[in-house]
Amino acid sequence: MSLENGLPYRSFFVVQSGIRLMIYFYSCCALNFVPAARVLFESLKQQFPDCRTVLGLADQFPDGLESETLGIDEIWSLDEMVSEMEQPRGWVFRHNVMELATALKPFMLDRLLKRDDCEAAIFLDSDCVVFTPLSPVFDALERASIILTPHICRPHERDEWIFFELNPHKVGIFNLGFIAVKNTETGKRFASWWKHRLRRHCLIEHERGLFTDQKWIDYVPAYFDDHEILRQPTLNFARWNSYQRDISRSDSGVILIDGNPAEFIHFSGFYKVGGYVKGLYDQATKPFCNDVALLDELTDWYAGKLKRDAERPVFSGPWHFGYYDDGTEVSQQERKFFRSNDALMQRFPDPFATAGNNSFKTYYDSCQSHGTGAGQNHAAQQGGTENTAEPPRPGRPQGTSSDGVRRIWNRVKHKTLGLARRCVSS
């Protein structure tokens, strides 16, 4: 499969007040998703050779990790992204890995929009792959400052599809694996508001109406006139909408969505491939997908793209902030207890630290052992409903890249060379 679809490359750079404006593409992830981010940024550089790529690392920055070797223009450390926080380590402790990676997005956006050379900043989840110059996105940016794509775009009156309309009530109407923001007053005002909300409320707590950064974006059509919603089926093709869209391959090998070249595909949930998630579809959507075989081929192709990096030790270890400094895993209950009372953040500026008797871990354990029920009461106040995704394996972060890649790669490597050539042919 080719990363090109024959569409002409468009240059969007202009010189204004002597400054050459450019488009910034950015993403944010933990170390286990860096192999995916590298594939994303390579696909972007193939379509936009002059763009600037930025990766925010929601993890401990390892020794020897260099942006040049990964083909990424800039890699931002977690320390620099949270430097404006009064208690940065306490703020990190409040979040699990998904919450943290999504909470950082508006902080990165706000910082990018303050650059004089930034014309627009486009966020893509690290597990996306871009196949075209994204003409619908740039056309929209000429008309509006905030560009969004919904999870699903077509109303249907089939009773068996009600599940797919109810789920966005939990996770948000818009999928925040993509958002484009132009460097205008509206764009900056949006970034400031979004950042303010995610300081405290980028959490997975369905009973409180929260799901990471996504649910907040439901307010954009109400708050900002200067926005546009893109419903083209070629954008943000993923397992939550593949059942609504026809996928095929042209004679030249180009992937088509409803007859037009795919703009970008979102391989969300790839690292959870197993009993329920099947890559670009799942058990619920499979009966409605028109070409499961081609969806499987795309998943296999993506596994092959990740293979080169996914099993490198630096990218296959556990999430650094999933553990106290003594190696004990931090539970979600402990995170909820900590964030339920602002006084705890002041009392324990580094809740990961366990030395001595005045640590957060000691305090939490004491509350539990004395039967105060404080942990449970605080969690109840916060709304303790968890994400419906598979729970993380003990000792490893959810979605460890080597697990998903290895599982699929073992299947892929037994296929014939002919099939492999068809998957990557242009």
Is the pLDDT at 420 greater than 50? The verdict is no
Roughly what angle, to the nearest 10 degrees, separates helices 360-369 and 374-382?
A: 110
Residue predicted with more confidence, 154 or 414 = 154
Domains of the chain: 15-313 (3.90.550.10)
**In the structure encoding, which two tokens stand for residue 306, read together?**
């990740």
Is the pLDDT at 78 greater than 50? The verdict is yes
**Taking the C-alpha atoms of 359, 362, 366 and 372 in order, what is their torsion angle to the nearest 10 degrees?**
60
User: What is the pLDDT at residue 402?
Assistant: 54
User: What is the pLDDT at residue 370?
Assistant: 76
User: What is the pLDDT at residue 165?
Assistant: 82
Is the pLDDT at 410 greater than 60? The verdict is no
Residue predicted with more confidence, 46 or 421 = 46
Is the pLDDT at 293 greater than 90? The verdict is yes
Is the pLDDT at 100 greater than 90? The verdict is yes
Contact between 236 and 162 under an 8 Å Cβ cutoff? The reply is no
Is the pLDDT at 376 greater than 50? The verdict is no
Could you say which DSSP state residue 95 is in?
Answer: -
User: What is the pLDDT at residue 254?
Assistant: 96
Query: What average pLDDT does the segment 393-398 reach?
Result: 38
User: What is the pLDDT at residue 21?
Assistant: 82
User: What is the pLDDT at residue 19?
Assistant: 61
Cβ neighbours of residue 82 under 8 Å, at least 6 residues apart? Answer: 88, 91, 92, 104, 107
pLDDT in tens, 112-134: 999 999 999 999 999 999 999 99
* Among 181, 186, 210, 179, CA closest to 197: 210
pLDDT averaged over the chain? 85
**Taking the C-alpha atoms of 175, 188, 210 and 198 in order, what is their torsion angle to the nearest 10 degrees?**
130
User: What is the pLDDT at residue 33?
Assistant: 95
pLDDT tier at 356 (50, 70, 90 boundaries)?
A: confident
Task: For residue 298, report the phi and psi dihedrals to the nearest 5 degrees.
Answer: -65, -40
User: What is the pLDDT at residue 282?
Assistant: 85
User: What is the pLDDT at residue 121?
Assistant: 98
Residue predicted with more confidence, 34 or 163 = 34
Could you say which DSSP state residue 151 is in?
Answer: S
Is the pLDDT at 416 greater than 80? The verdict is no
pLDDT in tens, 220-276: 999 999 999 999 999 999 999 999 999 999 999 999 999 999 999 999 977 766 566
Residue 141, classed as helix, strand or coil, is helix
Query: What average pLDDT does the segment 387-403 reach?
Result: 41
Contact between 116 and 40 under an 8 Å Cβ cutoff? The reply is no
Give CA–CA dist 139/5, Å, rounded.
Answer: 18
pLDDT in tens, 279-288: 898 888 888 8
Query: What average pLDDT does the segment 11-40 reach?
Result: 82
The percent of residues above 70 in pLDDT, for the chain, comes to: 80
Residue predicted with more confidence, 399 or 273 = 273
Strands (E), 145-273: 146-148, 178-182, 204-205, 210-211, 227-229, 247-249, 255-257, 260-261, 264-266
Give CA–CA dist 283/152, Å, rounded.
Answer: 17
User: What is the pLDDT at residue 16?
Assistant: 53
pLDDT tier at 155 (50, 70, 90 boundaries)?
A: confident
Query: What average pLDDT does the segment 297-304 reach?
Result: 93
User: What is the pLDDT at residue 66?
Assistant: 82
Task: For residue 304, report the phi and psi dihedrals to the nearest 5 degrees.
Answer: -65, -35
Give CA–CA dist 322/32, Å, rounded.
Answer: 13
**Amino acid sitting at position 165:** E
* Among 411, 402, 404, CA closest to 390: 404
Give CA–CA dist 421/293, Å, rounded.
Answer: 15
**Taking the C-alpha atoms of 132, 137, 138 and 141 in order, what is their torsion angle to the nearest 10 degrees?**
-170
CA terminus-to-terminus distance, the chain = 5
Is the pLDDT at 2 greater than 60? The verdict is no
Place of tokens 């998903």: 404
Strands (E), 84-190: 118-124, 128-130, 146-148, 178-182
How many C-beta neighbours within 10 Å does residue 390 have? 14
Residue predicted with more confidence, 403 or 79 = 79
User: What is the pLDDT at residue 371?
Assistant: 66
